[in-house]
Structure 1
Amino acid sequence: MNINLTMFGQLIMFAMFTWFCMKFIWPPIVMAMEERQKRIEGGLLAAERGRFEKAEAQIKAKEIINQSKSLAAEIIANATRQALNMVEDAKYIALKEAGKVKEQAQAQLEQDTICVRNELKNQVSDLVIQGVNAVLDKEVDVKLHQQMLGKLSESLS
């Protein structure tokens, strides 16, 4: 056996093995590596996109929170204004009702005063008649009695 022939055989076998590996084994390995590289790149892009979307979501959340706070402040201000308006309206209505009650009380007082005066006039005239009857010790004529009452009521007014 010759070393050169063995080496030449090994060289041919190595070339065939290299060709076989390059033809059948290497392409699936390269394809798997490229596919994995693409998945890694996709994952990195998705992570970057996720970070960007997270930042946008945080900005939107802050905007929504600020809008909600301003809306809540506006609602509170409106409620306060409405409450103050309701209180003012209630005060106005209460004052109006108090005025009506006061007017009614004054009208009732005037009516009561007139009734009491008339009753007092009648009682005074009865007392005067009784006094006159007692002094004269006789009954006065009815017409004369009416005339005297008229004069007496005029003098009392």
Structure 2
Amino acid sequence: MSINATLFVQAIVFLILVLFTMKFVWPPIAKALDERAKKIADGLAAADKAKSELTAVNKRVEEELSATRNETASRIADADRRAQAIVEEAKARATEEGNKIIAAARADAEQQVIQARETLREQVAALAVKGAEQILRKEVNPAVHSDLLNRLKTEL
């Protein structure tokens, strides 16, 4: 055979091989490559979406943390104000109670002073009667002379 015929037959076989490859081999390979490219694109899109969702979630978490911090600070301030008010109220009640105790003690002391004066007056009156009795050397009846003794008490 001649070289031209061999070349011609080889060209025809090559053409058949190309047509066979294009018809039966190339479409599944192209389909697999397209599916792989689509999966990669979907994965990248999902990663971008997840990244944006993560950013949004992080932002929302920071906002909630900030709100929680503000609320906590507010509650602590309220608790401090309440504690201060309770302390002030307790001080006021203690002062009021102390004033009541002092007033009661003063009233009691005043009452004791009055009672002591009365007792002293009675003792002085009794001493005066005994003194007058000894001066007169006779017995003085307190029941008979009660009016005189009452005037003597009031004068003392």
Please, what TM-score do these two structures have when normalized by structure 1? 0.88
Q: Which runs of 5 or more structure 2 residues have no equivalent in the other structure?
A: none
Identity of aligned residues (%): 38
1:111 to partner: Cα distance: 1.5
1:13 to partner: Cα distance: 2.0
**1:151 partner amino acid:** R
Correspondence for 2:40: 40
1:18 to partner: Cα distance: 1.7
Correspondence for 2:62: 62
Correspondence for 2:131: 131
**Post-superposition, which runs of at least 4 consecutive aligned residues in structure 1 deviate over 4 A?**
none
Q: Distance in 2 between matches of 1:122 and 1:142?
A: 12
- Secondary structure at 2:6 match in 1: helix
**1:78 partner amino acid:** D
CA, structure 1 residues 122+142, in 2 after alignment: closer, same or farther (shift >3 Å)? closer
1:48 to partner: Cα distance: 1.6
Q: Which runs of 5 or more structure 1 residues have no equivalent in the other structure?
A: none
Structural RMSD (CA): 1.8
Correspondence for 1:50: 50
- Secondary structure at 1:139 match in 2: coil
Please, what TM-score do these two structures have when normalized by structure 2? 0.88
Q: Distance in 2 between matches of 1:4 and 1:144?
A: 181
Q: Deviations over 1:16-73 (max 9, x none)?
A: 2222222221111111111111111112112222221222223222212221221122
**1:12 partner amino acid:** I
Correspondence for 2:112: 112
